[in-house]
Amino acid sequence: MKTFKLKGEPRQVSNKQAIKTLRRNEQVPCVLYGQGIENLLFYVSAKELKQITNTPFSYIIELEIDGKSYLSVLHMAQYHPVTDEPLHVDFMAVTEEKPVSINVPVIITGNSEGVRQGGKMMQTTRKIRISALLKYLPDNLTVDITDLNLGKTITAGDLKYDNIQILTPKTTIICSVKMTRAAIGAAAAETPAK
């Protein structure tokens, strides 16, 4: 998985006024937590943060705070309800030895049999939550739809990858081929009248 470097500046536990001042200066308050480290309060540039939050990709984030480096993943972000600007971000520290839970983009490949018959391809899920050791984390998961027929679906339970555990519920639909009016009409035309 790709790594993204992000520089943070330490901050103290503070009141609402200090946090508002940070946000006015285009800084986003953050916290880093995880097993074996004490919660670390810091802030990052809103502009740099957008390179992680405004993308469909997932990253391992190398945080540099006060001269120290921490490997982490973006755990949760709170956004302003109107402006959609990030208000607060939680990062979770990760290690090489323990599995990491992260959302990974889904890439659809192949030409579906159902689409060739006139159906319409529908991708319902764009990201899947997985768990794997750092060395096995993929940039994305590819789903081959070549054998997907009309009216059929691929669910999270159908997917299998080496060294990766899928955490998304098994019944979550990833993609499907829907019948279109044209496909229904073509099927009706092929059926001989009695």
Q: pLDDT digits over 86-100, tens only?
A: 999 999 999 989 999
Mean pLDDT, all residues of the chain: 89
Q: Which amino acid, 58?
A: S
Tokens 């285009």 belong to 26
Structure tokens at 129: 């939550």
| Phi, psi (deg, nearest 5) at residue 66 | 55, 40
> What does the chain come to in residues?
194
Answer yes or no: is pLDDT of 103 > 60: yes
Question: Pick from 112, 178, 176, 114: which is nearest to 145 by CA?
Answer: 112
pTM of this structure: 0.78
Is 102 or 13 the better-scoring residue by pLDDT?
Answer: 102
Statement: residue 68 has pLDDT above 70: yes
pLDDT for 84 equals 87
- Return the pLDDT at 188: 64
Confidence at 19, pLDDT banded by 50, 70, 90: confident
Position 64 scores a pLDDT of 94
Domains present along the chain, CATH in parentheses: 3-95 (2.40.240.10), 101-187 (2.170.120.20)
How far apart, in whole angstroms, are the C-alpha atoms of residue 123 and residue 108?
Answer: 8
Bridging pattern class, strands 127-132 and 165-166: antiparallel
pLDDT at res. 1? 87
Q: Which two tokens stand for residue 31?
A: 């916290």
pLDDT digits (tens, 9 = 90+) for 160-182: 999 999 999 999 999 999 987 76
What pLDDT score does 27 carry? Answer: 93
HEC string of 70-130 equals EEEEEEEEEECCCCCCEEEEEEEECCCCCCEEEEEEEEEECCCHHHHCCCEEEECCCEEEE
Distance CA 194, CA 191 (A): 9
Parallel/antiparallel/unpaired status of strands 27-34 and 86-93: parallel
Residue owning tokens 């979770």: 92
